[in-house]
Amino acid sequence: MELEPFVFRRSGRLLGVRGAPDGEDAALMEAVNRYALRPLGREEFAVFTLDLCHNQVDRHFSRFPEEELERINDMTPGRPLLERHDLRGSLPRGMFFRSSLHHGEERVSVRPDVYVMRTVENGDFITNIEGGVYRETSIGFSFRLPECGICGKDLRTCEHIPGRSYGDKTCHFIMRDVMEVIEGSVVSSGSQGTGFVPGARSAPLEARAALTAAREQFHQPIELCSPGLWAEE
Ligand SMILES: [Zn+2]
């Protein structure tokens, strides 16, 4: 049976505005100009650093293992920065041009830098970030395997429910086989930034709903005719 990949979103935050400390400029200019079609001057763009995702169990009872964070870190440069995950309506606001893994005491996070051109149209966007009004971010990505933290099986095929306790352990799932980093977004403050889309890029579901649907699909017996259809009438 072919199991569909998940397309999830995870919230992060803007860490700050990168000025131009001496010594960093040359490396920064080189990294940005790898993406530009003509050499840019430092005054032409703003640079922001994001805390995009990390290795801790989050409120959806999921986490990235460190090796998947390494993959995300490798895949993020070259991806667009959008507003509110709007893949259809508007053009990107910025471009992720480099990324590094940040090791805290227990927390490992992916921290990419993004540049935004100082065009007239981006003026308000940049001002709102610099002013601390736009500070929530969200990453859109796809992955194949939700591994159960209790038994190690594909969560769709076992009986454990994320968030529920089993002995002294609370079930969470480990997101493995990250396939793609789709985009990073600036989202409005207070937004959950956590739409969940199993297999498609529309109709976001809650995490639990997405997993439940996938689990039901996996366990569903093959039926030629659904008896429920007739019982309703
Ligand atoms: Zn399990």
132: CB partners within 8 A, 6+ apart: none
Look at residue 128 and tell me if it is in a domain: yes
Look at residue 195 and tell me if it is in a domain: yes
Look at residue 125 and tell me if it is in a domain: yes
First to last CA, the chain: 32
Distance 149 CA to ligand 1 centre (A): 7
Look at residue 159 and tell me if it is in a domain: no
The predicted pLDDT at position 5 comes to 82
**CA gap 84, 97 in Å, rounded:** 20
Distance 192 CA to ligand 1 centre (A): 27
Given its phi and psi angles, is residue 43 left (phi above 0), alpha (psi -120 to 50 degrees) or beta? alpha
The predicted pLDDT at position 231 comes to 41
50 neighbors 137 (Cβ within 8 angstroms)? yes
Distance 171 CA to ligand 1 centre (A): 8
Distance 3 CA to ligand 1 centre (A): 17
Distance 191 CA to ligand 1 centre (A): 31
Look at residue 73 and tell me if it is in a domain: yes
Q: How many Cα atoms occupy the beta-carbon half-sphere of 99 within 13 Å?
A: 24
Tally of structural domains, the chain: 1
Look at residue 165 and tell me if it is in a domain: no
**CA gap 108, 68 in Å, rounded:** 11
203 neighbors 147 (Cβ within 8 angstroms)? no
C-alpha to C-alpha distances, 232 to 18, 224, 227, 228, nearest whole angstrom: 61, 17, 9, 6
Beta-strand pair 80-83/94-103: antiparallel
List the one residue out of 138, 118, 113, 130 whose CA is nearest residue 191.
138
Distance 151 CA to ligand 1 centre (A): 4
Look at residue 157 and tell me if it is in a domain: no
pTM here?
0.79
8 neighbors 196 (Cβ within 8 angstroms)? yes
Distance 152 CA to ligand 1 centre (A): 6
DSSP per-residue codes, 68-79? HHHHHHHHSTTP
Distance 156 CA to ligand 1 centre (A): 8
Distance 173 CA to ligand 1 centre (A): 9
The predicted pLDDT at position 100 comes to 94
3 DSSP assignment: P
Look at residue 10 and tell me if it is in a domain: yes
Exposed e or buried b per residue across 75-89, where buried means at least 16 C-beta atoms within 10 angstroms of its C-beta: bbbebbbbbebeeee
Distance 65 CA to ligand 1 centre (A): 17
Distance 195 CA to ligand 1 centre (A): 24
Distance 160 CA to ligand 1 centre (A): 4
Distance 68 CA to ligand 1 centre (A): 20
pLDDT by residue, tens only, the chain of 233 residues: 667 788 888 778 887 777 666 667 889 999 999 999 999 999 999 999 988 889 999 888 999 999 999 999 999 999 999 887 776 777 899 999 999 999 999 999 999 999 999 999 999 999 988 888 888 888 888 999 999 999 999 998 999 999 999 999 999 999 999 999 988 888 865 444 333 333 433 334 566 677 777 777 776 655 444 444 444 43
- The whole domain housing 184 covers 6-145+174-231
